[in-house]
């Protein structure tokens, strides 16, 4: 019998093992929750909130430049300034990051091959992938400073200069300019398939192969095209965590050792020039996390039942292709509508590229809503695994007997948190989209009219998001 190749296999196994329970629940809540009022009321309330935000933003935000004064420097004590970005702190962080990568490789290769006994599956799929997204959105983009592939490449470059007394690792090839950021798009699409479809994603030996292959791709790309170029166009996680960090209220300047506070989403106002590959990347990011939520609905379970001739892998792979294709098609249709309502003859692709970043607050909101319980409940499994990373009976830190607490968050709290972040994410998306319209179109009235289709898109997706998130809780 085929098994659903998704992360839920790991999470339910972790919950079952560490809490000695016999039932696996959606999102790891451990309970079914009856909403205090019909789902339709929540959807209507969320739609009204997003609609009102459109009116308020349209009235009070009339000039994009007027928002620049909302960025303030946070006064820091001299002792703290002296430690920001220092070589000593930097080396500690870098060495720790490299040791983590080494631990992942060793535990996946020689540790227990059962996910619940091995450090790496929990760390990669929950602590790193889910947790670092949260950290980036709250504290800012830390990935460039802890990226172990970047750090190890820099170590190798430094060592080569010591022994050869000349610059090494100069780019072997010139990166084709027309290729843009498509390598990152392709790698993220493969990652999304592994996370959502591949049945062996949580099995340590399979995970070892995936980590090794990805490491060779990253090191090879930096060697061929140069570190900075490849990290910009070939590291999908550099893109993702950078995107998420644009929503952070903190901005850290490591060179000047300054910390700034800013409104959420302020980072989007200083975004560099985008291209088609970035637009597709954003749409795939949003659609794949949505697809992960769709898979937990009764609709998708029924789909598997009605197509017995196809395996779980085949159906989920088709879904992972069809859902992003639908997202891209719908988005381009709405971009055409934006051009029509603006009464300006702007290039359709240029409009799509310009408004792509307005979708990122929604992607992050859904990331928060969908994965919070995963981080807070199955994510606790990292505590005993730190004491016994290989699954061989160690108790290095005295935490090997830790029991996962299902009460870390319940279905009720998760639902209201989901409603809150979904609404806030869409409100922020309305704000970012409006600012982009002010930049793009010639007049304020044209910008307002152009946002009618985008508002409709936000309202529709708000309703769909809440429906998807509610299904594992109320069914």
Closest Cα to residue 456, out of 41, 54, 43, 44? 54
Strands (E), 29-119: 72-73
Q: How far is CA 413 from CA 34, 139, 473, in A?
A: 12, 23, 11
* Residue 340 CA from chain centroid, whole number: 32
Site of tokens 């106002």:
269
Q: How far is CA 451 from CA 56, 229, 419, in A?
A: 13, 35, 23
> What's the burial of 166, exposed, middle or buried (CB within 10 Å: 0-12/13-18/19+)?
exposed
**What pLDDT sits at residue 401?**
93
What is the chain's alpha carbon radius of gyration, rounded to the nearest angstrom? 23
**What pLDDT sits at residue 329?**
96
The DSSP annotation for 185-236 comes to HHHHHHHHHHHHT-TTTT-HHHHHHHHHHHHHHHHHHHHHH-HHHHHHHH-H
pLDDT in tens, the chain (475 residues): 444 334 433 443 433 333 333 233 334 444 555 677 888 899 999 999 999 999 998 887 776 555 555 778 787 666 555 555 556 777 888 999 999 999 999 999 999 999 999 999 999 999 999 999 999 988 888 898 899 999 999 988 888 877 776 666 688 899 998 899 999 999 999 999 999 999 999 999 999 999 999 999 999 999 999 999 999 999 999 999 988 888 888 877 766 667 788 887 777 766 667 889 999 999 999 999 999 989 988 889 889 889 889 999 999 999 999 999 999 999 999 999 999 999 888 888 999 998 988 888 898 888 888 899 899 999 999 999 999 999 999 999 999 999 998 888 888 888 899 899 999 999 989 988 998 898 889 888 999 999 999 999 999 999 999 998 887 655 5
**What pLDDT sits at residue 321?**
96
- Which run of H or of E encompasses 260? strand 258-261
Tokens representing residue 53 in the block = 């935000």
Sequence-distant (≥ 6) Cβ neighbours of residue 383 within 8 angstroms:
399, 402
Tokens representing residue 159 in the block = 């060592």
The domain segmentation of the chain, as residue ranges, is 7-474
What is the pTM for the complete model shown? 0.87
Q: How far is CA 350 from CA 72, 242, 394, 451, in A?
A: 32, 22, 57, 16
Q: How far apart are the C-alpha atoms of 378 and 374, rounded to whole Å?
A: 6
**What pLDDT sits at residue 340?**
93
Closest Cα to residue 108, out of 30, 207, 17, 13? 207
């Amino acid at each position: 019998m085929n098994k659903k190749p998704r992360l839920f296999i790991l999470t339910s196994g972790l919950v079952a093992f560490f809490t000695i329970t016999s039932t696996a629940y959606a999102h790891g809540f451990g309970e079914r929750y009856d909403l205090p009022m019909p789902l339709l009321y929540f959807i209507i309330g969320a739609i009204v909130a997003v609609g009102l935000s459109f009116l308020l933003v349209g009235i009070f935000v009339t000039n994009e430049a007027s928002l620049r004064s909302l960025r303030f420097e946070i006064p820091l004590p001299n002792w703290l300034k002296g430690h920001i970005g220092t070589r000593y702190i930097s080396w500690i962080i870098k060495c720790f990051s490299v040791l983590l990568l080494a631990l992942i490789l060793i535990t996946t290769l020689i540790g227990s091959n059962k996910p619940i006994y091995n450090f790496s599956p929990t760390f990669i799929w929950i602590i790193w992938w889910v947790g670092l997204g949260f950290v980036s959105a709250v504290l800012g983009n830390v990935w460039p400073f802890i990226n172990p592939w970047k750090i190890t490449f820099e170590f190798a470059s430094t060592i080569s200069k010591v022994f050869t007394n000349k610059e090494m690792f100069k780019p072997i090839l010139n990166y084709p300019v027309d290729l843009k950021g498509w390598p990152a798009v392709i790698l993220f699409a493969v990652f999304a398939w592994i996370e959502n479809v591949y049945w062996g994603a949580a099995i340590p030996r399979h995970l070892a192969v995936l980590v090794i292959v990805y490491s060779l791709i990253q090191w090879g790309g930096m060697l061929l095209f140069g570190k900075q170029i490849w990290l910009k166009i070939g590291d999908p996680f550099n893109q993702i965590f950078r995107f998420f960090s644009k929503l952070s209220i903190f901005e850290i300047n490591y060179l000047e050792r300054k910390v700034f506070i800013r409104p959420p989403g302020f980072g989007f106002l200083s975004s560099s020039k985008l291209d088609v590959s970035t637009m597709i990347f954003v749409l795939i990011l949003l659609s794949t996390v949505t697809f992960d939520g769709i898979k937990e609905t009764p609709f998708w379970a029924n789909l598997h039942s009605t197509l017995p001739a196809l395996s779980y892998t085949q159906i989920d792979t088709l879904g992972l292709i069809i859902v992003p294709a639908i997202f891209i098609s719908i988005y381009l249709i709405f971009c055409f509508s934006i051009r029509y309502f603006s009464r300006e003859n702007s290039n359709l692709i240029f409009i799509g590229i310009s408004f792509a970043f307005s979708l990122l607050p929604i992607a992050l909101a859904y990331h928060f809503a969908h994965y919070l319980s995963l981080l807070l409940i199955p994510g606790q499994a990292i505590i005993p695994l730190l004491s016994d990373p290989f699954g061989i009976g160690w108790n290095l830190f005295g935490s090997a007997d830790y029991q996962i607490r299902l009460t870390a968050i319940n279905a009720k709290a998760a639902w209201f948190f989901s409603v809150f972040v979904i609404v806030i994410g869409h409100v922020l998306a309305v704000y970012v989209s409006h600012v982009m319209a002010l930049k793009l179109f010639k007049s304020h009235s044209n910008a307002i009219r152009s946002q009618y289709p985008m508002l409709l898109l936000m309202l529709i997706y708000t309703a769909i998001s809440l429906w998807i998130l509610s299904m594992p809780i109320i069914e």
